[in-house]
Amino acid sequence: MIKTFKYRNLTLGLFALGTVGLIVGGATTAFYNDVERSTGNTFTTGGVNLRVDSTSHYNNMICTDMGSSADPRYQWQSESGFTPTPDHYPVVGTACDGTWSETDLEDGVHKFFNFNDLKPGDFGEDTISLHVYDNPAWGRFLLENIIDSDNTCTSPEQSAESGNCVENTGDGEIDNYLTFALWLDQGSIPGFQCGDLSASSNGAKCDTDPTEGDNIRQDTEPVVNNKVLVSQLNAGSLELAPALSSVYQAFSCDVSDGNTDYGVCHGLAEDGRMVPSVTYYFGVAWNLPLSTGNDAQTDTFGADMIFQVEQHRNNPTPFTGNNSLVNSNGTGSTTVSGGTTNSGTGSTTSTTGSGTGSTSPTATLSVSTTTLSGTTTQKINFVATVNADPGFDTSNIVVAVSDGGAGGSFYNGTVSGQCNSNTVDADNEFAISSNKGICYQNTTAGNYTITATLLDSPGGLAVGSPVDISVNVTN
């Protein structure tokens, strides 16, 4: 009975609550209210995209796209103003590699250099342009997977190597002769004005700056590496920011982010970042000198070439980890081989691909003055100074100097501004640990440019950015 009574009480209580609810619900209400709604909230990551194009030159010939109906589509054609002899090599109309329009590179398809029969005296140049889209980025160039092989052994090669040539597995010698030079092909106006303009009627990249990206180094175009022997190209990386930043300083640019709407200094940022939608032209010249010996016959030199970019924003120390948005465009291959009396065969790979690395200690070069003047009978002195990071090895570094073939001579000098030698320096390279005095003389009046470059060893790789010195010589 007790259980039944309690159950009935509960039921009546619930019924009473329901009745009250009906009464309240029947009343008219008008509460104040307001609604604020934010819709479509999203987080979308930005991108960094790198694309590359190339134009290849070889012995005054240019690898030209003849159109999709041509066979072969890419053929060697004469450079403007050059008339080849009947026995000129390469022959007009023969197949070539090294030229393509802006694209993502593919393994084994895009070859910067593809030469299977080099002879002493051969030379060439490749103008490579880099395009970063969507966001500013840091850039760098890497060299990996170096191949240096004797390949086959001809009788002249065995004789030159005293019988030490070993087919396939032996150490090749072409890298002791073949040299490369790299410069910023920016034209006569600082920066890059031709990025979004169509080619002009005279064959230049654009009318604004006709010498931009023209495969020829002008005095206004800074050298990054100058005549470096292939044997000194160690696997490693060359970051582009120091070079681009030094050009910003050298030409007194004043827009820190490098965006001048394709005016003067466009693409040159204070910190060396790469600016989106700029076409960065780099000239890469190579030369196999006439002095090349028989030990280089049929030898092969090969390497993977990699171009990599990494986001700029929130990234003060690029290429030090795996947490950044990275784009490093595809892979490709290139062939370079040597011969003196016989044909050469071999391969050299030029690729782009992903990868990360670490930042190594480095050094920068400065000079006491960037403007010199004197007479044809004087030796003019300047002082080079090295500022090295802790841990950077300065025991073997040198300063390489050049006046671009203007006929001048270099001598040992002192840090106090005196020229204490009458002996012309043979290789234009001066050992330096911290400071070094260097003297220059040109017996012909004129205006000249001396380029001073810090190398990690005699004939070695460039460290930091080169410094240009303007010289005025009078009678």
For the chain, list the domains and their CATH numbers.
Answer: 49-336 (no CATH), 363-474 (2.60.40.3450)
Instruction: Taking residues 177-203, report their average pLDDT.
Output: 79
For residue 90, say if its preceding peptide bond is cis, omega within 30 degrees of 0.
yes
∠ at Cα 178 (185, 221), nearest 5°?
15
Instruction: Taking residues 308-321, report their average pLDDT.
Output: 86
Residue 326 has pLDDT above 50, yes or no: no
Residue 27: pLDDT band (50, 70, 90) is: low
Ordered DSSP codes for 248-269: HHHTT---TT--STTSTTTT--
Residue 120 has pLDDT above 60, yes or no: yes
> Quick one: pLDDT at residue 341?
30
Instruction: Taking residues 375-379, report their average pLDDT.
Output: 93
> Quick one: pLDDT at residue 301?
83
> Quick one: pLDDT at residue 260?
95
Residue 181 has pLDDT above 60, yes or no: yes
Q: How many Cα atoms within 13 Å fall on the side-chain side of residue 311?
A: 14
> Quick one: pLDDT at residue 28?
58
Instruction: Taking residues 195-201, report their average pLDDT.
Output: 55
> Quick one: pLDDT at residue 47?
57
Residue 348 has pLDDT above 80, yes or no: no
Q: Give bridge partners of residue 382 from the DSSP assignment.
A: 438
For residues 471 and 440, is the Cβ–Cβ distance under 8 A?
yes
Which is more confident, 3 or 364?
364
Name the burial class of residue 80, with classes exposed (0-12), middle (13-18) and buried (19+) by CB atoms within 10 angstroms of its CB. Answer: exposed
List strand residue ranges (DSSP E) for 232-379, in order.
Answer: 236-239, 279-287, 300-311, 326-327, 335-336, 363-367, 371-375
> Quick one: pLDDT at residue 350?
29
Residue 236: pLDDT band (50, 70, 90) is: low
Q: Which of 47-61, 65-79, 81-95, 356-370 has the lowest mean pLDDT?
A: 356-370
- Read off the tokens for 127: 């103008």
Which is more confident, 162 or 252?
252
> Quick one: pLDDT at residue 138?
93
